[in-house]
Structure 1
C-alpha cells in the first residue's frame, strides 16, 4: 500500500501499525517531539524538497523500516531515535542538521542498522550507538554499518560507540572540530577506507569517562590543510602536529558478516559530495 502525505496528522496516521506501507512525504511537514514509526514501513521523500522540521521519528521495538530522501531540520529532541530491540533499519540519502540533542541514536539492544549516503551538518552530537557505560545488555547487539556518509563540520559522535559492533566504511569527514569515531566501553569498531580532512582526532579508543573499546583502522586517508582550531570540548587533549587514527585490540571482520568492496579512500570525497544527501536518489 502506498500513501502520500503532506501534513503531520496524515503522516502519523500512515506511520502507525505494523502492516506494510510506503509513506511518501510531499513538501515540508512540521512535527514536534518524537513520533512513532511502526514496523514494515518505508518513509520516502518525494522529489528534492521533502522535509521533516521541528520533530523526529521514533522506532521502539520495531523492525523492517526504511527512511530515505528526507531532510531533517531543527528537531527539538533527536531527528531519529532507534531504541529497544528495534532491528533491520535502513536510513539512506537523508540530510540532517540542527537537532536539539542527537541526530541519530541507536540504543538498547537494537541491531542491524545501516546508515548510507547521508549528509550531517551544523551539529554537535551526531550519532550515538549505545546509550551508557552501564548498558551491558547491549553486548552482542548494536550491529551497525555506516558507509558513504558526509560529516560536514559536525563536532563529535561520527559515531560514538559503546558495546556495539560497527563498520565505518568510506565516509567523508570534513573539519570535525572534536573527533571522528570513538570506540568506548567494550565496543568493536572497524574504521576502513574513510577520508579525514582537518579532523584532528580521526579515531579515539575511549572518550570522556568511558573505558576504551577495540578499534581497527585500515586504508584510511588523513590530511590537513589548516592549523588545528581550539576545541570547545574539555574531553579533547591538545591536537597533535600530525593527526593519526588511534587503534586498540582486534575488533572484528566485517567480511564475515557480509560481502563488500571498499572504495579507495582518495575517491571518497568526490563520490560522497556528488551522491550523498536528500534529493539525490
Structure 2
C-alpha cells in the first residue's frame, strides 16, 4: 500500500482511496505547518466576548464532574504556567513533555490556530511513509513495512481467520509505535486546555487524559486522529474488522474531567471516503471521545460530534470488575450529527444523557446503526432528548440492548413529536430491561424542555460558539 504522495499546501490531511485488483492506495497529502508561535505568561482571553475561559471552572451542579470535589482544571495556575501555543512541539512542552502524564502542576494552555500532530518542525510534516520506512521487515534494513504486503499476506482467502502474526504484523506494531510517539500526547492533572477565538484546532492527535485528576478541555476542534497502521482482526464480528488505535480524545483511569464547547470530527478523512478491504471499511479512526478504564466523574457538555462511526464508548470491556462503581458520566446539550453508533455505548456506568440533539444524516451511506447502547451492568438515564430521523428509520432504531438490565427514558421527541423510544424498541422485539435505571441524577443545573433542545444546541454547542450561560 502506497502511504504517501507529494505534499501541497492545504489545511488537514486528505485521504484518497482507490481499490483495484485487491490493492488499496492510500494517499496522505502533507500540509503547511502552523505558523510558529511561542509560549507566553500573558493571560489571554479565549473568546471574542473578552471572557477568559482558561480561568473558568465547572458549575457546582453541572453533571457528574461537579461531584468528588468539583472540576477546576488549571484555573489556579501561576503566571509561569500559563502558555499560548501555536505548534505541536509547543503544546507538548506546555503540558510537561514526556512527563506530562504524572505532572500535577496547575497549568493553563491556550491553543492558537491549527496545531498539527504530524508537524516535525522546521517546515516538515511527517507522513505515514516516514514511520513505515523506519521499520525493516524480518531484520532486513532494505525492506520496509508495506500495507500492500500486509493486506496481501492476511487476506482471509490466504491467511484464514487466525489473528495476524509473523514479521509483517511485528513490523506493523513497530511502525504504529513510532506514530504513537509522534502523535499521542498525555494530559496530566490540574490542567485546562482551551482554544483562543473560533478557529483553534488540534489535528491528527490522540489527546489522552490518563491517570489524571481535574482536567478541562474547552473551545477546541479535535479532528482526524488518523491511524496510519490499522490492524485487521478477522474475529471481530461475523466477517472481521479493521481496528484503529486512536481516539481524538481518550479519558483513561481519570477523575473529574470536563469536556465542553468543542467539536469532534474526522477532518479530511470522513467515513464515506474510506475504501473497503476484505469487505469491511478500512477504518483509520477509533472513537471521537472515549471514556474508559474506570474513569469517573466526567461531564461532556455543549459539544458537536460530527460524521463519525464509533463515536463515544463509556467502559472498555464486558468483563472488568474494576469498573463497578465508576464511569459516572453526564452528557448534555451536545449535537450528534451524521454519526453511526455509540452516542453513547455504555458499560457499568451511571450515565445521565439529557437535552442532546441527534440528527441522522440525509445520506448516511448505511452508516447509522443506533444511538443509545446500554450494556453490561450499565444504568443509563436518558431525559428530554430530541431526534431528527430520516424517512424509513423507526424510533426503535435509536436504542439497542447490549446486555443491560436497567434503563430509564423520559421526555424523548422524535421528528417534533413525543415518542417513547423504549416502548418502540420493545414493540419491535428488542431485548427487555428488567427495571428502571435504579438511580435519579442529582448533579443537574437545569433540564430544558425537549421542544427547546434543537434551538439551544444548534446555537450553543461546538467550538467557537460559546455564549453566556442561560440563567
Give the structure-2-normalised TM-score: 0.53
Task: Report the equivalent of 2:117.
Answer: 31
Q: State the distance in 2 between where 1:132 and 1:173 align.
A: 26
Q: Deviations over 1:90-127 (max 9, x none)?
A: 00010001171101111111100010000011100000
SS in 2 for 1:191: strand
Aligned residue for 1:173, secondary structure, equals strand
Matched, 1:11 2:91: yes
Query: Max radius of gyration: which structure?
Result: 2
Aligned partner of residue 11 in structure 1, secondary structure? helix
Q: How far 1:9 moved relative to its partner?
A: 1.0
Determine if contact 1:34/1:78 at 8 Å carries over to the other structure. no
**CA-CA distance at 1:250 after TM superposition:** 1.6
CA distance in 2, matches of 1:148, 1:245: 27
2:286 maps to 1:101: yes
3-state SS in 1 of match to 2:408: strand
What does 1:243-254 correspond to in 2, within 5 Å? 248=433, 249-254=435-440
Does the CA-based 8 Å contact 2:401-2:430 persist in structure 1? no
CA distance in 2, matches of 1:254, 1:9: 44
1:215 to 391, 400, 407: 407
Distance in structure 2 (CA, Å) of the matches to 1:245 and 1:267: 30
8 Å contact kept, 1:222–1:244 = no
1:187 correspondence with 2:378: yes
Match of 1:117 in 2: 302
Deviates more, 1:6-15 or 1:243-252: 243-252
Larger % of helix: which?
A: 2
2:195/2:219 contact within 8 Å kept: yes
1:4-36 CA-partner distances (Å, limit 9, x unpaired): 001111101111221111100000001153211
Deviation at 1:132, TM superposition (A): 1.1
Structure 2 CA distance for aligned equivalents of residues 130 and 58 of structure 1: 15
Paired residues of 1:28 and 1:51 also in contact (CA < 8 A): yes
Deviation, 1:260, is: 3.3
RMSD: 2.3
> Residue 215 of structure 1 contacts residue 247 of structure 1 at CA under 8 Å; is this kept in 2?
no
TM-superposition CA deviations, 1:213-262 (whole Å, max 9, x none): 4211001112289xxxxxxxxxxxxx98x99998722214343x324331
Any gaps of 5 or more consecutive residues in structure 1?
Answer: 226-238
* Alignment counterpart, residue 157 of structure 1, candidates 336, 339, 342: 342
Determine helix, strand or coil for the equivalent of 2:116.
Answer: strand
Pick aligned residue for 2:259 from 91, 95, 100? 91
Query: How far apart in 2 are the matches of 1:90 and 1:280?
Result: 17
1:126 match: 311
Q: Distance in 2 between matches of 1:246 and 1:265?
A: 27
Native 8 Å contact 1:83 1:108 kept in 2: yes
User: How far apart, CA to CA, are the structure 1 residues paired with 2:301 and 2:261?
Assistant: 7
Alignment partner of 1:204: what SS?
A: coil
Unaligned 5+ runs, structure 2: 1-77, 97-102, 119-182, 227-245, 267-283, 362-367, 418-423, 467-471
Does the residue aligned with 2:286 lie in a helix, a strand or coil? coil
Deviation at 1:274, TM superposition (A): 0.7
Greater than 4 Å deviation, 4+ residue runs: 242-247
1:41-80 to structure 2, matched below 5 A, reads: 41-76=191-226, 77-80=246-249
**Separation of aligned partners in 1, 2:376 and 2:94:** 38
Counterpart CA distance in 2 for 1:259 and 1:95 is 23
Deviations 1:40-78 (A, max 9, x none): 000000000000001121011100000000001111211
Per-residue deviation, residues 166-211 of structure 1 (Å, max 9, x unmatched):
00010000106211111001100001000011164222222xxxx2
Pair 1:50–1:203, CA change in 2 (3 A): same
1:162 deviates by 0.4
